[in-house]
Chains A and B, each alone.
Chain A
Amino acid sequence: MARVRIVGHRRRLDATLATLYRLRCVQLVDIGRDSEIRLPPLSIDDARLSELEELKYLKARLNGLLRLIPDVGAAGGVEPATALDIAELTAVLDAAAPEVEALVGRLDELRLEQQTLPRHLDALRRLIPLLPDMAELESYEMSALLIDTRHGEVLGELNDRLTTVLGGNFEIISDRLDSQTIGAVLIYPRHAADRVQDQLGREQVSRVRLPERYESMPFRAALTAMEQRVADLDVEIDKAESAVEDCVRAHPDWPVAQRAVTARLDQLTAIRNLGATPHTFVLSGWMPADRVEELMVELEAAIGDEVVVGIVEGEAGEDAPVLLKNPRPAQPYESFVRLFEVPRYRTIDPSLLMLVFVPLFFGMMLGDVAYGAIIFGGALYLRNRFTAPGFLHDLMRLLVLSGAWSILWGFVYGEFFGDLGQRWFGMEPLWINREEAIVPLLVLSVIVGAAHITLGLVLGTVQAVREKSRTRLGEHAGLLIALVGLFVIVAIAADQVPGALTTPAVAAIVVGLVVLVVAGGPKSPLTGPLVFVGTIGNVLSYLRIGAIGLASVYLARVANELGAAAPLLLGILIAALFHALNLVLGVFSPTIQALRLHYVEFFGKFFEGGGQSFHPFGGDGDSVTDTSSTA
């Protein structure tokens, strides 16, 4: 990563920012945080300030319009295809606005009607059985009422009041609609409508009010009309949506304009990061060292010699942004590294190591030819289906490789849907039969763990040497020496190496612990041995590779046993269900456990987080990756 400063004449500011935005290779640093130069920040002049406000308004309008059509994403950091003419764009939007607003307003009305009509229908349907036929008489009017059962006495009070007012020339028919509501229909002479409404307003009843267009209809006719309307609404909404979409799509230049507006807005906003002299602007930033030449050439071509790029001499410090760069197969694992933490600048990027070990551990845990083939095929299909870069695509690439390793380990263990391969076509394990040889399986898991942890400690030691940190070198090297001594002792106990090595092994443990304690400072006489014991726990943690594999193979066996015990078709169904369950567990569990072994056990030995991702000026794209910061 190179620290650069770009200095140019103020009249070339816009062109410079546009070029940097297009190249997307420089991360801007606020000039106030550049401790080596003391410059006042560049102020935005009135013309640019006014442009900024106009652009913010335009962007909001364009975002609002383009949200109406589903498949146009938000503006990214892409180079705008056309020059931006704010006045022209404003005029176009002003001209189109009335039509779009009318169409959207109509669509909103229809959606509101679609939401509210079913509620009216529901109330009406429940009240209809209460209506007598005479209610359709011309000289009478009806009001439908809903009363909370807790205030049921209101009906009696209403009856008394109306008897006083109308002298008995009315009818109330009521019934309980549900546990909380009493429905009532009040029939009264049309000429007495005002007096009745006056009385209704005094009581705690809610009158069922139909939408305006149905209010004058008799209830049964209103019910039929509303049911018809609900059925028609879907089609009308579809038509209205199409009309809105067609209207917006008639302006294919709007998405381009949106990108141009966003780009210019970003450039204007970036000005506050720059420093100023009386006639020049000064831009400070980070960029990949291998792109400095390209930047110089591009600026020269676009602007000429009024802008110069200078590289700040000296090694980049810890404040430099981190740019991971790995060979293509290891790139998906960068997501998993970042998920944990961005490595600190100039420390080890473990993506490549994860490419080797995560799928290997996954395969060791699942270890079944059939399961592996299903995961391999499924992940391959999904990887090709979801081609957009992102976490999902990276996960599928991880699973493709993991599926392949599972097939390989399936042959090693002799498993095809558990023991079905042995039952059907006499499949034999190439090395370990997991069902029977539990001890070798667990020993293999621990050996893999020991190797993995040792590798982690070696990397930690290398890292400490590179950083010239004596303390960390002592801690890592001491732990490594003691651990190797312990491994030799274990190997002697298992009759794998000659007993004559006992003394050197014990000496290694003692020396290692002493180095660990001496390097660690005043508290290390207590913490040093604890770290050593913790590291042994880390190695034992790899037993999960064997344990999860055993759980998987026994569940597969249960599926096969149950399937074999039941009648043919039922047996196939039961076995399929259990194998499906095992397969789902077989995707989740090994993935999570393999990642966990890396995050907790492996990374703890060398990984140094706390880095800041590189975010180049020029859009919202993900941070890019680079080896310049890695081992």
Chain B
Amino acid sequence: METGLIAIGAALAVGLGALATGIAQSRIGPAGIGAIAEDEELTGKVILLVAIPETLVILGFAVAAMLIILLGD
């Protein structure tokens, strides 16, 4: 039972982080493509802007890993 709850908690940590990243990137991506279409030199900045929300899922992964490693034993 407890193991199952830990697994659900870890899954929520990664899953919700991934969902949030996806939502953020789905807004930034089209705007970025529009900006690149106007000015190709903005490619680097757009990559940076699209990449920023990925931190959410990575932090979610860190939380999930900590849950499993610290509580899973």
For residue A543, which residues in chain B have a CB less than 8 angstroms away from its CB? Answer: 58, 61-62, 65
When the two chains form their complex, are residues B58 and A540 in contact, meaning their CB atoms are under 8 A apart?
yes
Given contacts A599-B48, A600-B48, contact A442 B55 (CB under 8 A): no
A596 an interface residue at 8 Å Cβ cutoff?
Answer: yes
Q: Which residues of B contact A540 (CB under 8 A)?
A: 58-59, 62
Instruction: Using known A-B contacts A540-B58, A600-B51, determine if residue A341 contacts B45 with beta carbons closer than 8 Å.
Output: yes
Chain A residue numbers with a CB within 8 Å of B52 are 600
Contacts of B58 in A (CB 8 A): 540-541, 543-544, 547
Complex contact B65–A442 (CB within 8 A): yes
Q: Say yes or no for A537: interface residue by CB 8 A criterion.
A: yes
**A609 CA to B55 CA in the complex, in Å?**
23
Residues of chain B contacted by A547 (CB below 8 angstroms): 58, 61
> Which residues from chain A contact B44 at a C-beta distance below 8 Å?
338-341, 599, 609
Q: Report A596-610 CB contacts with B as 1/0, cut-off 8 Å.
A: 100110000000010
B23 CB-CB contact with A under 8 Å:
no
**Which residues of chain B from 40 to 73 have any CB-CB distance to chain A below 8 Å in the complex?**
43-45, 47-48, 51-52, 54-55, 58-59, 61-62, 65, 69
Total interface residues on A, CB under 8 Å, equals 18
Q: Which residue of A lies closest to B41 (CB)?
A: A341
| Interface of A toward B, CB cutoff 8 Å | 338-341, 438-439, 442, 537, 540-541, 543-544, 547, 595-596, 599-600, 609
Interface of B (DSSP majority class):
helix
Beyond known contacts A541-B54, A543-B65: 19 more, CB 8 A cutoff: A339-B43, A340-B44, A340-B48, A341-B44, A438-B65, A442-B65, A540-B58, A540-B59, A540-B62, A543-B58, A543-B61, A543-B62, A547-B58, A595-B47, A596-B47, A596-B54, A600-B48, A600-B51, A609-B44
Interface string of B13-52 (1 = CB under 8 A from A): 0000000000000000000000000000001110110011
Complex contact B54–A537 (CB within 8 A) = no
**Ordered nearest first, which 4 A-B pairs have the shortest CB separation?**
A340-B44, A596-B51, A341-B44, A547-B61
Distance in Å from the Cβ of B18 to the closest Cβ of chain A?
11
Between A and B, 5 residue pairs with Cβ closer than 8 Å are A438-B69, A537-B59, A544-B58, A596-B47, A600-B51
Complex Cα–Cα for A439 and B48 (A):
29
Residues in chain B near residue A609, CB distance under 8 A:
44
| Alpha-carbon separation in the docked complex, A609 to B44 (Å) | 11
List of B residues within 8 angstroms of A439 by Cβ? 69
**Across-interface contacts of A599 in B (CB, < 8 A):** 44, 47-48, 51
